[in-house]
Structure 1
């Protein structure tokens, strides 16, 4: 077993600097706050800059398929910065979950290669049609059924990234058993600014008899039988939606064995890389808290000089150091396709999820009254941390999985 590399390479540091610069310019906390109740699935201009112009959407996709040919290590760096900015973009749902699921299919098949190319170049956004809370550890039972001609019927609740997605990857039970199907809700070559046609407070329905028209945006062809019902999530920067399918036209990408493996691999990669987002979120919370306690004075001195607050921030810093090691180990194991991936992912999620929540709670509390207001971005980080704690398996679920992986009996009760 090789020793994991927990350090950042020069190329990874350069990537971090580029993404951080973009987010500082285009996605400051004030902008995220302003967009939080805007009812858009994501910021299409920011996504275009991040995914297409910088090429981060294709980091996990090989060069020959239109991607960057990078690894999970580079994707983890991007997610750290997105967590630090609580950026409202579908990177986890499209560039990680949907892309990894497609990579588990036969990439020599023309249709799969075309979809991968569209996602990798940012021409389309994808979503894996499973509840965001679904943990890794194999493919979950499908709630959608497929007919012999590929038409899909069923409902999937709480899908991240479904609103505004042009490619829906739907696990379904068909005549030949479990399969992974693709539903295209737009002509991929015509997509320019996904998400720009959303109407606040209404369900996004693909299947109207005419096409959706928006001034300055291309017409998006309708797809019968597909309705995306926006939900009200705790974290407004990561929208959730219920997906309703009624004889929706689809194309099967993989049969039973390959589909289960592809979905399971996508969930594992998503959980492992989510730890890096949680790390970035926690780092922002600690950095902002330290800055505030240096500037906020009480009794004639900075409140950060009080020993009780010093101890709380020092304890949080130690948690962050361990979280960084766990997140980097998971990313490195995924990049190397190591046999240790299940253990590394379980450790990362069991630990990093709790650290992110703790850091966000401390950020709110140590900011005092201002930390409880809507105008301060602290609440965005707390909501993202709590949402991420449930996403792709709770810490308790990952601890149970880890106990089985290392043959350690889990505590009763």
Structure 2
């Protein structure tokens, strides 16, 4: 599994921009100069017409820098959900802005601590005019300071789970920012009380669409975790070379070498799993659910382990605000739970193989 020369050039361009611009100031140059927000958007809707491997490159670089940019929520979840519905009117109206980065979207989906469609209890009942009135609460919604422009909501109807477009400022809609351990990834809780929603695609197909979007999201998040874990390892190796104890760099001690070597194996194993999911998304959709579950499980645990080693091998400075180690550790914890913890995805794998877990 190898990336193309164009994708490696994309990596270099993204890394250069993220180095020059910090935090949310990078959004404008990334979207206007590189088209980062529209990598997975078909050309007919103003995007680059790329695939999961292009998104993989972008997410790896965003992970390295712990970027707070809304690519995961907008460019992966929202774009993926719109395309999955096959609603050409909504795609033609919403995707050009999302691809250009002039609008930012999010998908309000999780309930009761779960991203499984079966857990959705938010209800949508028909209203006059062909719309629906939606009532319920959505958790762990990826957000950004200043809010979002496009809000998609998963709700249960008489036909099953369906997707709806809801105006973020509509009557009966309220957004509550939540305090998260990982301050670099904004999240919110959305409350809907009889909010007007426009149905997207075929009624009752939302559960199937959400399962596909979850696989795309896990694939993109796995790439982000690989990029962040790789950066943790780089910083730790640099520290081991420069930190002197007993008259020699601590990296020269065999015990430290072994721990760094183990961390390297974890990073490279995670990279293989993440790339495997990206290749499956582009070339073998039937294999994507399994590949995405593997990637989410492997990359979550690898990132957590490497971030933990980063703190351990940095010593006291690793738990201070002056060093980024604690930020990577918090991102690892938050990303590990997002879209379901590793155990949940291993259970998916076991179910697909006809096995049971305890």
TM-score (norm 1): 0.81
**Is the Cα contact below 8 Å between 1:144 and 1:155 reproduced in 2?**
no
Counterpart CA distance in 2 for 1:112 and 1:253 is 10
User: Residue 326 of structure 2 aligns with which residue?
Assistant: 379
Match of 2:107 in 1: 128
Give the one of 169, 172, 187 matched to 2:152. 169
Worse overlay, 394-403 or 152-161: 152-161
Could you say what the CA RMSD is over the residues aligned between the two structures, in angstroms? 1.8
Distance (Å, rounded) in 1 between the aligned partners of 2:31 and 2:118:
28
Distance of 2:195 and 2:143 partners within structure 1: 19
Matched, 1:105 2:85: yes
- Which structure shows the higher helix fraction? 2
Q: Report what 1:145 is aligned to.
A: 124
2:20 corresponds to: 25
User: 1:112 Cα deviation (Å)?
Assistant: 2.8
CA drift of 1:142 comes to 3.8
Q: 2:252 aligns with which of 290, 305, 314?
A: 305
Describe the SS at the equivalent of 1:387. Answer: helix
Matched, 1:229 2:229: no
Q: Decide whether the 8 Å contact of 2:110 with 2:120 is kept in 1.
A: no
| Kept after mapping to 1: 8 A contact 2:42/2:48 | yes
* Aligned 1:155-234 pairs, distance under 5 A: 155-161=137-143, 164-174=147-157, 176-185=159-168, 206=169, 223-234=170-181
Question: CA distance change for structure 1 residues 12 and 238 in 2, over 3 Å: closer, same or farther?
Answer: same
SS at match of 1:370: helix
Length, aligned pairs only: 353
User: What is the aligned partner in structure 2 of residue 36 from structure 1?
Assistant: none
Name the SS of the counterpart of 2:286 in structure 1. Answer: coil
Q: What displacement does 1:336 show?
A: 1.5
Compared CA separation, residues 238 and 402, structure 1 to 2 (3 A): same
Q: Which moved more, 1:46-55 or 1:279-288?
A: 46-55
Deviation at 1:183, TM superposition (A): 1.4
1:82 and 2:62 aligned = yes
Aligned to 2:76: 96
Q: How far is the alpha carbon of 1:341 from its aligned partner?
A: 0.9
Q: Which residue of the other structure, out of 6, 13, 30, is the alignment partner of 1:50? A: 30
State the Cα deviation string for residues 305-362 of structure 1 (Å, max 9, x = none): 1110000000111111111111100010011243211111111111110000001011
Structure 1, residues 199-251: CA drift from partner, whole Å, max 9, x if none? xxxxxxx3xxxxxxxxxxxxxxxx32221101101111111111012232321
Q: Deviations over 1:85-137 (max 9, x none)?
A: 100111111100111000011242x233211112111111111102396446x
SS in structure 2 at match of 1:104: helix
- Segments of structure 1 that go 5 or more residues without pairing to the other structure are 1-5, 33-42, 186-205, 207-222
Q: Tell me what 1:403 maps to.
A: 350
Instruction: Return the match for 2:8 from 13, 36, 50.
Output: 13
Equivalent position of 1:392 in the other structure = 339
What is the distance in 2 between the residues matched to 1:261 and 1:174?
Answer: 14
- Contact in 1 for aligned 2:296/2:342 (Cα 8 Å): yes
2-structure distance, mates of 1:142, 1:266: 19
In the TM superposition, what whole-angstrom CA distance separates every residue of 1:355-392 from its partner, at most 9, and x where no partner exists?
A: 00001011111111111101111111000000011011
Aligned to 1:218: none
Change (3 A) 1:153 1:162: farther
Q: Which has the higher contact order (CA 8 A, sep 6+)?
A: 1
